[in-house]
Structure 1
């Protein structure tokens, strides 16, 4: 057995991204002794380090609005509370709307957001261009503008949470892959790793796109599927706008961009991308699709070459909403995964929710719609339930 591996832990958190790090911190801060976080690679090496870093409360349901507001609040004071700079900026989210149905949906969502304290608004195409000068207004009917949304640096957040968790007594063990979970009569008894076994009665699955394989170790289906998402960075722009939103998103194509250094970060979710653990950064076909959208919505972007890029994974559920729940089938198994691209912004609230679930307290967020068992077999097969 590795000398770094304890014999016993009160809680074992599997996954060293922002979700796992936040959970480990919040448990340790609450006084839970013997919290152990296991990461098979480096901290933040999975989806977290490939995230665009967006943080928003501009959602279409009250539960996610509350979680997003908590993320914005926590990250706004993160540097002070955790002594870790995360480059948090509140430059807003701008959603570009080019058909009436989407404009109607976003108008309803803005009303809901306003009712929960989010100062979003529907703006004209001309106002949208003032906010995000690189866009073309041709074909736009309007835009949804949420000025208090923002962005931060995901890997810095993980380092801040991890350092604080250690100060509170948590153990964080890197390069330690989980190979099995032991149970007896439907109750968790231990976690088996490549370096040995840890006896425990509680496991938290926070392994992102790899969560389904962890659940299968105890016969629990966690319905998340990995889907590649690619991001590219342009060469420096000669005339980068003085101000630009944290994210400008063309809806529903999901092409988005924001300033990154002296250039732009470009993202697009290819609807034809197959499920799987493909992490190759492949420009050709992806760039053709992105370029077609950008040529209509932000043609100036096409004048600049691509300097670099990367590929990461979303962990997608059938309804594109996260799973945060205590498993009913296996005692001692908690699940926090399936964020479908929203995990970074939901890290702070998730840590608080899982802490409360472990302590037997009622979470201060409405998590009924995030239940593990909410999907029918048909939902999982079709993947056609509601999308956030």
Structure 2
């Protein structure tokens, strides 16, 4: 990306070092710089957005079962709608809505509860009939469908454009982006981080913010902080251009299987979470997983099963034990902040999290109480109810 710079030696000192140059790191840098924080260095082992942020699922939504996640999603949706003005970039936001397809009475009952919570927080989601689901998405077969949920203000955008928009604005405000720079160690004295070691030099610093995504556990280990994040490969594919063109459809998810699809350029994007995928950092794309997707959509959206694909991506989810994020300030190291472990929700929550981390750094009260997302919750047994739908 245009803002990235490669350093033979990184700056010797910084007020803030942000580890990770994805949507989270770039968004945090933007929010800090906008608030007047000077001397920020973002350290990224590859190119900006080369981790999970570079893989274009791009869903943005406020449809969650937990009020805290709903508020993070809603706040971020508003920021994405305003992105052409602040920070000032076209992110190809398409407000097509989300459509969850439900195939059991239990799913329908659980989603009715979630919809009531969402409506109480001004999210205009609603239960719809199988027939209306098919009207919203003509590919859908109503056979075996019990109900669906439509959330019209949700949609999808392009993660790479968001990273670039945040990073360009932050760079104009003086933020340094040290790309192709790997963190190799972290120095601490008593209850404070004092320096970040990289393969391009050492940076003495006053604050470290870990936004390293799937690699956050390794960064935590360097500082003696437990950030329970595991990497899990997720894959998607793109169809060839369709003729006639695909109708404009919601981001559609078969809830039971996690299979999903939405418009992408002149075709469709397909995805599905392989339940047998082992943990690891391997991001090799293996087209064989597509058979899992095709097996599902033969019943749920038959026309998709025979569409030709022209390539795809593999990226990493950064998964925590309860599939909820880790956001907070370390209890052991007072100047170590973290925002990671989003379990597939990082892109859609990034603007809100940028605000929150800015406020934590400035000792201001964030717009929502994020204490339930402390990494310490797993030691105290205070896990949050897991979010089941992680697309």
Q: Same fold (TM over 0.5)?
A: yes
* SS in structure 2 at match of 1:376: helix
The match for 1:281 among 280, 285, 309 is: 285
- Give the direction of change, closer, same or farther, for the CA distance of 1:2–1:241 in structure 2 (3 Å limit): closer
Please tell me whether residue 81 in structure 1 is matched to residue 77 in structure 2: no
2:222 corresponding residue in structure 1: 217
Q: How many residues align?
A: 383
- Say whether 1:229 aligns with 2:256: no
SS of residue matched to 1:351: helix
Report how far residue 324 of structure 1 moved.
0.4
Q: Which runs of 4+ in 1 moved over 6 A?
A: 377-380
Mark the CA change 1:163 to 1:258 in structure 2 (over 3 Å): closer, same or farther: same
CA deviation map 1:306-356 (0-9, x unaligned) = 110110000000010000010101221111000000100111011110011
Distance 2:135 2:31 in 1: 41
1:144 to 149, 171, 175: 149
Alpha-carbon distance in 2 for matches of 1:215, 1:47: 18
Aligned runs of 1:103-252 on 2, under 5 Å?
103-245=108-250, 247-252=251-256
Q: Distance in 2 between matches of 1:333 and 1:80?
A: 31
Let me know the Cα RMSD of the aligned residues.
1.7
State the partner residue of 1:362. Answer: 365
Shift of 1:33: 1.3
Counterpart CA distance in 1 for 2:73 and 2:242 is 31
Q: Any gaps of 5 or more consecutive residues in structure 1?
A: none
User: What are the Cα deviations for residues 209-264 of structure 1, in whole angstroms up to 9, with x where unaligned?
Assistant: 0000000001111100000000011122223443211x100002110000112211
TM-score, reference length from structure 1: 0.95
CA distance in structure 1 between the aligned counterparts of 2:380 and 2:294, rounded to whole angstroms: 37
1:257 to 2:253 alignment: no
- Structure-2 change in CA distance of 1:158 and 1:2 (3 Å): closer
Structure 2: gaps of 5 or more residues: 1-5
**Please, which of 296, 302, 306 is the counterpart of residue 303 of structure 1?**
306
Q: 1:4: Cα distance to partner?
A: 5.3
Please state how far the C-alpha of 1:377 moved relative to its aligned partner.
8.8
Three-state SS of the structure 2 residue aligned to 1:222 is: coil
1:378 Cα deviation (Å)? Answer: 8.4
Q: In structure 2, do the counterparts of structure 1 residues 147 and 191 end up closer, same or farther at CA, with 3 Å as the change threshold?
A: same
Q: Distance in 1 between matches of 2:382 and 2:81?
A: 37
Q: Which residue of 2 aligns with 1:341?
A: 344
Contact residue 190 and residue 197 of structure 1 kept, 8 A: yes
Quote the offset at 1:51 in angstroms: 3.6
**Is 1:332 paired with 2:338?**
no
Provide the secondary structure at the position in 1 that maps to 2:297.
helix
Q: What SS is found at the alignment partner of 1:334?
A: strand
Per the alignment, in what secondary structure is the counterpart of residue 171 of structure 2?
Answer: helix
Secondary structure of the residue aligned to 1:281 is coil
Asked if 2 retains the 8 angstrom alpha-carbon contact of 1:133 and 1:241, the reply is no
CA distance in 2, matches of 1:241, 1:179: 47
Q: Is the 8 A contact 1:318 1:379 kept in 2?
A: no
Give the corresponding residue for 1:375.
378
Distance 1:166 1:176 in 2: 17
Tell whether the 8 Å contact from 2:9 to 2:201 is kept in structure 1 after alignment.
no
TM-superposed CA distance for 1:81, in Å, is: 2.1
Equivalent residues of 1:51, 1:312 under 8 A apart: no
